[in-house]
Chains A and B, each alone.
Chain A
Amino acid sequence: MTIGPDDVRHVAALARLAVPESRIPELVSQLNDILSHMGVLGRVDTSSVTAVAGAGDANMPLRADLGPPIALVHPIASFAPQLRDGFFLVPRLATHEDSGDDELSE
């Protein structure tokens, strides 16, 4: 399997990265080189092997879904880019961008 420029553009879009066109050829080359070394895995018989998600015998344990939340030393407003009434503010979704309203969304 080899990666082409459209694959890089597609993956970049999935990852929310605006990769400049000028960097695409280099990334295509580097990612193909890296992936060429992964081909060796295809030759390993894993038909009877369980896939593990963690390092131990068991898969990732989950903590109990219980509170209270962790006490914060600093208020959220000290690190949030924009906050109002306890809500993070973000620009409007693209579908609302043409409304002429520059208000931020919560």
Chain B
Amino acid sequence: MSANAVGAVLDAYRRMADVDAGPNGLNCVLWTDEARALADAAAVDALPQAGALAGVPFLAKDNIATTHLQTTCGSRILEGYVSPYEATVITRLCDAGAVLVGKTNCDEFAMGSSNENSAYGPVLNPIDRTRVPGGSSGGSAASVAAGIVRIALGSETGGSVRQPASYCGIVGVKPTYGRVSRFGLVAFASSLDQVGVFGTTVDDAALALEVIAGRDPRDATSADCPVGSYRKARTNDLAGVVIGRPREYFPSSLDSRILHLCDEALDGLRARGATVRDVSLPHTDLAIPVYYIIAPAEASSNLARFDGVRYGLRIEAKGLREMYDSTRTRGFGPEVTRRILLGTYVLSAGYYDAYYRKAQQVRTLIAKDFCDVFDSGVHLLFTPTTPSTAFEFGAKSDPYEMYLNDIFTATANLAGVPAISVPIGDVDGLPAGGQLIARHFDEQTMFRGAYALETARKAPA
């Protein structure tokens, strides 16, 4: 039977034209090739046997390498760059019958929490266009929330899928570090980066993650660990599941309306048989300082390759050194520049031990917190995804205040554990997300909880 991929792709482009294009559009999608997508869709329709995602249009964040669309990472320094190889996650989705319909806007090199740092302009939140969609994968999140596609790829370094998913009222998954190949994902902070998935529902996200997960010989950090059928985790029964409520994620300063939504979500999980227990992750308050040392340090090294020699922007100059300086200064935006400077500083002689080495040690303690809690019999942790709902453009001009947006998400990246954000309700018409965190490579239990959480909201017990 035909998947009607062509029809689905045409629908995606129609929706894109309606909501994304033009001066009043959302600005989610940067690059498209409609003729190529329709040809790919026709090829899918002609296949005798449909793949798991046959005919499903998808979008990918613009830091994931594609061979027929630009990969700019939202930066001027890569404007016009078309990768000579394809990311494994793109190959796997297309092999399953999905059709790539475009690349999405993002904060430059995935550095940001609001999508205000893109060289191609900000993405608007489809729920309220005066507000940010979150970041850095804001274009992917907004495109799913706006109904352009059901599935989109993003990337996570400190919460860049879960935070925009929460702000846009959709589902966002960060898999275990090593669960998904990073081959073709432009490196920001290699020890933290993972490709993540957005879906309109938990089921969409589960299906897409199932397809892209698994060992890839091209990425040494991808784990040779069996991938379960996440969709089989669909259940309404959480009997025997112990859910930890970490007190550090529910400070007295937490918005009382978000606290109320979290309490309701936990009640829904209890009603489905889960046991909820208060737990502690005592080093949580150190996550942002640790993250904002390690991530910029790794970024300063990874982004050294953008120098005008092999690809991307080159500003011509008489001397080599001057060419490096001119190209990088002109090519990088203010936030990327700031993080490169910060990362170079914490790695420089005299400061390495005090900052970088210290941060690596405290990262060990943060990861141990998670292991200790899971070893105590807890299967899942439940927290708010973000301390607030989507904020207005320009509301956070202080860099550190912006960094605090990652306060509930960066810990999972530092520890490498999987986490998912699921909508739990609205505050004044703006969506809020609840986060479930699981043990390393236990996406199965994470999805079991997520399915139940989603059902609980739609059909309270």
Contact = CB atoms under 8 A, between A and B. Distances in A.
A18 B326 contact: yes
Interface stretch (B37-45, B227-235, B272-280, B334-342): B334-342
Interface in B383-420: 398-400, 403, 413-416
A53 B360 contact: yes
A61 B400 contact: no
Contacts of B348: 10-11, 14
B307 interface: yes
B337 A37 contact: no
Given A31-B341, A38-B293, A44 B365 contact: yes
Contact of A31 (B314, B317, B342, B398): B342
A54 B342 contact: no
Given A51-B364, A52-B367, A90 B323 contact: yes
Interface string B325-366: 110110010000110111011001001001101111111110
A22 interface: no
A34 B291 CA distance: 12
B310 A88 contact: yes
Contacts of A7: 345
Nearest to A89: B309
A12 B341 contact: yes
B458 interface: no
A54 B283 CA distance: 18
B178 interface: yes
B416 A70 contact: no
Contacts of B318: 91-92, 97, 102
A61 B308 CA distance: 30
Interface string A11-31: 110111111000000010011
Contacts of A54: 177, 191, 221, 416
Contact of A18 (B311, B316, B325): B325
A73 B84 contact: yes
Contacts, number: 194
Nearest to A3: B345
B374 interface: no
B361 A49 contact: yes
A93 B319 contact: yes
A12 B365 CA distance: 32
Nearest to B190: A60
Interface size class of B (residues with CB under 8 A): 35 or more
Contact of B416 (A55, A75, A97): A55
B65 to A, nearest CB: 10
Nearest to A36: B400
B351 A38 contact: no
B192 interface: yes
Contact of A78 (B84, B190, B309): B84
B351 A1 contact: yes
A8 B286 CA distance: 25
B344 A14 contact: yes
Given A41-B362, A91-B323, A94-B320, A80 B310 contact: yes
B67 A74 contact: yes
Interface in B282-323: 283, 285-286, 288-290, 292-293, 300, 304, 307-312, 314, 316-323
A60 B283 CA distance: 23
B114 to A, nearest CB: 17
Contacts of A91: 316-320, 322-323
Given A7-B345, A46-B365, A19 B329 contact: yes
B461 interface: no
Given A41-B286, A49-B365, A73-B86, A94 B415 contact: no
Interface string A29-65: 0110111011011101010011111111000111100
B250 interface: no
B257 interface: no
Given A79-B311, A94-B319, A46 B355 contact: no
Given A55-B367, A71-B85, A97-B318, 11 more contacts: A17-B332, A18-B328, A34-B342, A37-B292, A55-B414, A60-B221, A74-B82, A78-B82, A81-B310, A88-B309, A90-B323
8 contacts: A17-B341, A18-B328, A19-B329, A49-B365, A50-B361, A61-B220, A70-B218, A102-B318
Interface of B: 67, 81-86, 177-178, 190-192, 217-221, 283, 285-286, 288-290, 292-293, 300, 304, 307-312, 314, 316-326, 328-329, 332, 337-338, 340-342, 344-345, 348, 351, 354-355, 357-365, 367, 398-400, 403, 413-416, 440
10 nearest A-B residue pairs (beta carbon): A55-B416, A51-B360, A63-B220, A72-B84, A46-B361, A55-B177, A81-B314, A18-B325, A49-B361, A16-B324
